[in-house]
Structure 1
Amino acid sequence: MSYQWLTLWRYADTFLEAAWLTLQVTLLAFALAVALGLLSALAKSSPLAPLRWISHCYVEFIRNTPVLLQIFIIFFGLPSLGITMSAFTAGVLALGINVGAYLSETFRAGIQSVPKGQLEAAWVLGIPRRQIFLNVVLPQAARAVWPAIINNLIQLLLGTSLLSAIALPELTGTATVINARTLLYIQTFSVVALVYLVLSNLFSWLGTLAGRRMFHPPLVTPVKKSAWWWARKWLTNPLKRERAL
């Protein structure tokens, strides 16, 4: 058994390269997904009917078709139209478009959670629409849906395993190649599962930390109350005096 793990250890550099490639795909696809999701959410909230229709069709198509089929359409289907790309580019594009549809609904829910009274007050004060969105709507919407955004990021990370179907040497694809060479299926997939687990928990921890830094800053420095302050508060509160008596 130890010999089997020693054999697998020889592929440590290969696993690290696959993990790095997986991180690259995840972060690039997520950046694309955030941009598409935000644009789609704004289009769906637009007063222009064509924009709402385009956004609706995009979200409905992506949410009601398999992710693997979308990957195949981009990697195998687009070359028939004269559009060729590498497996890396196709993977980033496919996963970014897929997760962008889900983030669209997430962002739209966050935007709708902002009280309309704040928007009306900003309009009355003559604040430009761009500043209203950037300084009033966006911070509150992001705070409301931040956990869902991090959850989509983790799902995107796990979804990179599907890119092994187009021969991208990410973690799962690399594990398949190593299995063919060593026949150590349990050991190899256990290592890959551990790497996914570590990366998922890392994203979750970093997301929680970033959320606390961005959305829960200390507004004021807490001031320690003196004993005299508490005594005066008790003396000026008749309800507390009656309870004490």
Structure 2
Amino acid sequence: MYHFNFEPVFAGFDQLLIGAWLTIQLSVAAMMIGLIVSIICAAGKTSGIAPLRWLIDVYIEVIRNTPFLVQIFFIFFGLPSLGLRLTPNSAALVALVVNFGAYGTEIIRAGIESIQKGQVEAGTALGLSKLQIFRYIIMKPALRTVYPSLTSQFIYLMLTSSVVSAISADDLAAAGNNLQSQTFASFEVYIVITIMYLVMSIGFSTIFSVIEKAAFKYPLSR
């Protein structure tokens, strides 16, 4: 019979908290920067500039059809050969942004294409500038449409970020691995880590739900 002993785990619980905080920081930063990348790429993909659409399509296909671990290794181990060296945490952030940007582009593109052309034409008839049309008539309704998909992608991104421990980034998974090597309480450590990831996921889901009710209620607030 296996006897659970969580005492060594809770004795080093501060290490897990530090790792969890870094996971949250990496995930939130990657989501915010990745969202900007997604909006820019989605706007470019829906534009009439063929070479730009082709470049964005290549970017999306490469990221969506290669393992996230390989992308991290390419950024952390491959870029130094080109003279660009990044710390593990910086490389992890870049990899997460690039990954989220590819998936987010397709999500936001679908939202943009869901906007009826008649609404854009109405905005033009009212004398709105192209920037105002994109901001108020296209982007806000599109974001409201794809908001659930974007938040789900963020939760997935946060859980996927555990892979960055492979390049020694100081996230929750790395902290758990270090604590396990110190205590040899593998089962207990990973039970606690699983619960911590679950709590973070539920917590962010709740936050996103509150934001959705406040920011995307009808009519959309400016």
TM-score range, shorter chain: over 0.9
Matching residue of 1:95: 96
When normalised by structure 1's length, the TM-score is 0.86
1:36 Cα shift? 1.1
Alignment of 1:203-214 (within 5 A): 203-214=204-215
The count of aligned residue pairs is 218
Evaluate the alpha carbon distance shift between residue 121 and residue 218 of structure 1 in structure 2; reply closer, same or farther with a 3 A threshold: closer
**Structure-1 residue corresponding to 2:78:** 77
Q: Would the aligned equivalents of 2:89 and 2:170 in 1 still touch at CA under 8 Å?
A: no
Question: Judging changes above 3 Å, is the alpha-carbon distance between structure 1 residues 57 and 142 closer, same or farther for their aligned structure 2 residues?
Answer: same
What amino acid is aligned across from residue 77 of structure 1 in structure 2?
A: G
If asked which structure has higher relative contact order (CA below 8 Å, sep 6+), I would say 2
Q: Post-superposition, which runs of at least 4 consecutive aligned residues in structure 1 deviate over 3 A? A: none
**Contact 2:108–2:146 (Cα < 8 Å) also in 1:** yes
Q: Which residue of 2 aligns with 1:200?
A: 201
CA–CA distance in structure 1, aligned partners of residues 179 and 8 of structure 2 = 11
2:14 matched to which residue of 1? 13
Counterpart of 1:7 in 2: which secondary structure? helix
Q: Which has the larger radius of gyration?
A: 1
> Do the aligned partners of 2:46 and 2:53 also contact (CA within 8 Å) in 1?
yes
Report the CA distance between 1:218 and its aligned residue: 7.8
- 2:74 corresponds to which letter in structure 1? I
- Tell me the equivalent position of 2:38: 37
Corresponding residue for residue 172 of structure 2: 171
- Does residue 51 in structure 1 map to residue 27 in structure 2? no
In structure 2, distance between residues paired with 1:57 and 1:7 = 48
* Contact map agreement 1:32 1:97 (CA 8 A) in 2: no
Root-mean-square deviation (Å): 1.3
Q: 1:179–1:185: 8 Å Cα contact kept in structure 2? A: yes
- 1:217 offset after TM fit, Å? 5.2
Deviation at 1:179, TM superposition (A): 1.0
Show CA shifts across 1:29-62 (max 9, x none).
1112101111111111111111111111110110
Specify the code of the residue in structure 2 equivalent to 1:149: L
What are the superposed Cα offsets for residues 187-242 of structure 1, whole Å, 9 maximum, x if unpaired? 100110101000001111111111011112589xxxxxxxxxxxxxxxxxxxxxxx
1:135 is displaced (CA, Å) by 1.1
| Aligned-partner Cα distance in 1 for 2:27–2:167 | 16
Which residue identity does 1:18 align to in structure 2?
G
Q: Match of 2:179, SS?
A: helix
State the percentage of identical aligned residues: 38
Name the CA distance, whole Å, in 2 between partners of 1:12 and 1:155. 24
Counterpart amino acid of residue 211 in structure 1: E
What residue is the counterpart of 1:126 in the other structure?
127
Cα distance in 1 between the residues matched to 2:50 and 2:218: 40
TM-score (norm 2): 0.95
- Confirm or deny: 8 A CA contact 1:19 1:170 kept in the other structure: yes
State the Cα distance separating 1:180 from its structure 2 match.
Answer: 1.0
Q: Could you say which residue in structure 1 is the equivalent of 2:87?
A: 86
Partners of 2:15 and 2:179 within 8 A in 1: no
User: 1:89-130 deviations in whole A, cap 9, x for unaligned?
Assistant: 000000110111000000000001111111011112221110
Q: Runs of 5+ in structure 1 lacking a partner?
A: 220-245
SS at match of 1:110: helix
Q: Name the counterpart of 1:222.
A: none
Preserved CA contact (<8 Å) 1:25 1:92: yes
Which residue identity does 2:108 align to in structure 1?
F
Q: How far has the Cα of 1:158 moved from its partner?
A: 0.3
